[in-house]
């Protein structure tokens, strides 16, 4: 199911590659303290946590932005036919291209592919297996990629590490570079006349957010600064995948403060239904997540 909403003159649609209770809490949040989850079960279940299974609901989704004559895809999920170690990601066969078409983002119409950070579940649909090789899925698009993350991974790859990003660097990132479609971006850059880049290191060294402002409204595409809305209420809680765990909580607090002050629609990648919402509160009283109300 795709859901669309308006932010000023922009239309934003989330395309769900898959969703389900996939992550045991001991795995997703290995340092979670007693009571961190229990205090919030009244609003976490059932869309974000399934108590009977002791698992968090994790969505895998791509965001599509229509802005004037631009068609922008933000983060590209896992992708089909990608060999990945985690079972939930391995050799998928989904109808994501059809769901992108339903969102008005056919492969030939996409003008920009924007990546918040280089992890395998954010770059998969960058490429498609065609005629025995991985080729860019969106041949007419520029692929905007975090420079810090790319440079770090490229250095490791050049040193002989072929397993980077569970293999995604080789099959989903390098083909874009080799095709000449990649542009490296960083803090303060502007994309497609509608997105402002903000550096938010912590989940990865080069993690970026994309701020959209139009018609007095605001939205922010925030990648994996939070895997679950539980981290709004407990911002010190890191996920297993936060690569800079000493930095991630402070970055998360800075993000929550900005989002609350700006009354921005927060658009993460992995939240359960309704997949986005608003941040209320402050650093003294704490923060809470308000799901976007669907009519």
Asked, for residue 234, whether it belongs to a domain, the answer is: yes
pLDDT exceeds cutoff 90 at 263 = yes
Percentage of residues of the chain with pLDDT beyond 70: 99
Other beta carbons within 10 angstroms of residue 143's beta carbon come to: 24
Q: What's the CATH number where 45 sits? A: 3.60.15.10
Tally the domains of the chain. Answer: 1
For residue 102, the model assigns a pLDDT of 97
Model confidence pLDDT, tens digit, residues 125-147: 999 999 999 999 999 999 999 99
pLDDT exceeds cutoff 80 at 294 = no
Percentage of residues of the chain with pLDDT beyond 90: 97
Q: How confident is the model at residue 1 (pLDDT cuts 50, 70, 90)?
A: low
* Among the listed residues 36, 35, 57, 38, the one whose alpha carbon sits nearest the alpha carbon of residue 46: 57
- Residue pair 289/260 in contact (Cβ under 8 Å)? The answer is no
CA atoms within 13 A on the CB side of 193: 9
pLDDT exceeds cutoff 70 at 59 = yes
Structural domain including 211 reads 3-290
pTM for the predicted model, two decimal places: 0.97
Model confidence pLDDT, tens digit, residues 171-214: 999 999 999 999 999 999 999 999 999 999 999 999 999 999 99
Q: Distance between CA atoms of 200 and 153, rounded to whole angstroms?
A: 18
Asked, for residue 295, whether it belongs to a domain, the answer is: no
- Residue pair 209/222 in contact (Cβ under 8 Å)? The answer is yes
**pLDDT mean over 60-79:** 98
For residue 293, the model assigns a pLDDT of 79
For residue 2, the model assigns a pLDDT of 82
3-class SS at 91? coil
Asked, for residue 33, whether it belongs to a domain, the answer is: yes
**pLDDT mean over 90-108:** 98
């Amino acid at each position: 199911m795709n859901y669309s909403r308006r932010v000023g003159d922009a239309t934003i649609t989330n395309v769900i590659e898959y969703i389900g209770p996939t992550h045991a809490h001991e795995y997703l949040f290995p340092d979670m303290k007693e009571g961190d989850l229990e205090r919030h079960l009244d609003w976490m279940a059932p869309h974000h946590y399934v108590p009977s299974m002791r698992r968090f609901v994790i969505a895998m989704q791509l965001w599509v932005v229509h802005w004037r004559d631009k068609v922008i895809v933000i983060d590209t999920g896992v992708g089909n036919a990608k060999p990945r170690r985690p079972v939930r990601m391995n050799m998928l066969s989904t109808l994501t291209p059809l769901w992108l078409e339903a969102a008005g983002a056919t492969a030939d119409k996409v003008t920009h592919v924007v990546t918040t950070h280089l992890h395998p579940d954010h770059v998969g649909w960058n490429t498609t297996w065609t005629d025995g090789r991985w080729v860019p899925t969106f041949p007419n698009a520029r692929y905007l990629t975090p420079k810090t993350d790319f440079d770090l991974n490229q250095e490791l790859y050049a040193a002989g590490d072929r397993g980077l990003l569970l293999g995604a660097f080789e099959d989903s990132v390098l083909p874009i570079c080799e095709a000449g479609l990649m542009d490296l971006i960083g803090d303060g850059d502007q994309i497609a006349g509608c997105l402002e880049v903000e550096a938010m290191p912590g989940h990865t060294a080069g993690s970026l957010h994309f701020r959209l402002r139009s018609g007095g409204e605001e939205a922010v595409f925030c990648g994996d600064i939070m895997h679950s809305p539980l981290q709004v209420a407990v911002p010190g809680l890191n996920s297993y995948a936060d690569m800079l765990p000493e930095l991630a909580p402070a970055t998360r607090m800075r993000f929550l403060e900005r989002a609350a002050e700006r009354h921005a629609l927060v658009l993460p990648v992995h939240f359960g239904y309704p997949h986005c919402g608003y941040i209320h509160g402050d650093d003294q009283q704490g923060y809470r997540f308000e799901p976007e109300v669907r009519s």
